[in-house]
Structure 1
Amino acid sequence: MIPARAQIPEDPTPGNYVVVDVAQFSTTVPELFANGATYVHVTEDRGDELAFKEANPRAKIGGGSGPNYRGEPGYDFFNSPSFVQGVDVAGCPTAMTSTNGGNAVTDLRSAGGDEVDVYVGGLTNGVALADHLREQDAETYFVAAGSNGKPSPEDVAGALFIARHLLGDPPTDRELAVYHEMVAFSKGPKYERRPQIKRTDLYEYALAVDSRDVVPKLDGQKLYDVAGSA
């Protein structure tokens, strides 16, 4: 496991890399696919989404959360699994990035080139992702995205959850409760001081274990749902 985005090596060992950013990127991306998005274009820099939409008029694009977590003008959504429920992405390309998970995807793409395959996983799609990775020949590495260059307990918990399923040793109910507590205690107190949407994102979406059969895999700059493919 790579315990934070800042520790992604400049020359990563070839293999499969799973970016885990439980709050929010690794939870928002599966929701976009579950709602019918054709792909998620991961922009290199925040702001590049506007040019992407100009080139792809049907695209729905995500930006910053804006004042009081209502989004920014010119954007269709932001990095929130609950907010995207109100955005019609069915049959549409989407584009977004994020400070931690999205940038970790870009870091791996830039550093690893064709030698690494990048996936996005969290608690909601971890079982489906583990089932897919078990059929692959390459070694799997987990990138717990973290925050501000430091490890985050919720991302470590998410990575362990996927890893245990990948190894054929899924967590017991008691162990799963511990993972749940790691996520809730890590983010919950801070979110109590923020708008309700943050608590909804955490408790109703990020902690909805095994609720999505989505396997986001990077191809170029785009994540596609490869669930069901070998």
Structure 2
Amino acid sequence: MKVEAVLSPAEPLPGGYAAALVVDVIRATTTAAYLLQAGAGELLLTGELEEARKLAAARGALLAGERGGLPPAGFDLGNSPREAARLDLQGRTVVMTTTNGTRAALRAAEVVGEVALGALVNAGAAVRWAAGFDSLLLVAAGRGGRLALDDAYAIGAIVAGLQEVGELKAGDQARLALELARADARAILKASAAGRALEPVGLADDVDFCARRDALRLLPVLKGREKGALVFAGAVF
């Protein structure tokens, strides 16, 4: 399998890959998995607040997401996987927008047809999904337009899993992430800028939740596209 990672959102995404896996481990792709695990029938990702509000109003959907780590005014839910894990969302539709993760997903979908959202909590499921393709682009959401330590680590963990499945033709950034993944997940995530930023807003416990490996078999997979939004559903791998 041909595998490459783009660790910085400032870098253009290359075309020519069969599938893309988007990673924003603290916290959007982790939370997305738990929203679908809680029973949400559809999860719509969009980049802008007003677009999210319009979509939610049109669909009678719940609004989830963050700006500056906290839920924007009028939102039903934040971007906390711990919060999402406690919910019963059976049959509900959720519209989600975050500072980095949802925008990364939209960006990936511009160049790749098959897209899923990966994290540490579903790394094994991400590997099993990706194993069905002959090439994979791993897209880090990053933080503030720059490389993020936590996303690079999670991508490395996924590359390590792919390496166990079969032979890889890995690019330099994928190999760099792989080396980083030899470290302890909890220590890396807590040391990252994203992890440290949750402390002043009282959400530091989310970091431990995001560091849990293979807690879920569910993977958010792209099922449809709308103007300004991507529609994800949960699939078990």
Normalised by the length of structure 1, the TM-score is 0.83
Q: How does 1:21-36 map to 2 (within 5 A)?
A: 21-36=24-39
Q: Which amino acid aligns with 1:118?
A: V
RMSD, matched Cα? 2.3
Partner residue of 1:160? Answer: 156
**Corresponding residue pairs, total:** 213
CA contact (8 A) 1:60 1:89 kept: no
Matching residue within 117, 121, 124 for 2:118: 121
1:182 matches 2:185? no
In proportion to residue count, which structure has more strand?
A: 2
Q: Which runs of 5+ in 1 are unaligned?
A: 170-174
CA contact (8 A) 1:8 1:107 kept: no
Deviation of the 1:30 alpha carbon: 0.7
Compared CA separation, residues 79 and 190, structure 1 to 2 (3 A):
closer
1:14 matches 2:12? no
Q: Name the SS for the 1:96 alignment partner.
A: strand
CA contact (8 A) 1:77 1:87 kept: no
Compared CA separation, residues 129 and 190, structure 1 to 2 (3 A):
same
Deviation of the 1:14 alpha carbon: 2.9
Compared CA separation, residues 132 and 76, structure 1 to 2 (3 A):
same
Partner residue of 1:64? Answer: 66
Q: Which amino acid aligns with 2:216?
A: R
Deviation of the 1:63 alpha carbon: 4.0
Matching residue within 200, 205, 211 for 2:205: 200
Q: How does 1:80-99 map to 2 (within 5 A)?
A: 80-85=80-85, 87-99=87-99
Q: Name the SS for the 2:16 alignment partner.
A: coil
Give the distance between the partners of 1:44 and 1:191, measured in 2 at CA.
Answer: 21
Give the distance between the partners of 1:177 and 1:30, measured in 2 at CA.
Answer: 24
Q: Which amino acid aligns with 2:30?
A: T
Moved over 6 A (4+): none
Deviation of the 1:72 alpha carbon: 3.5
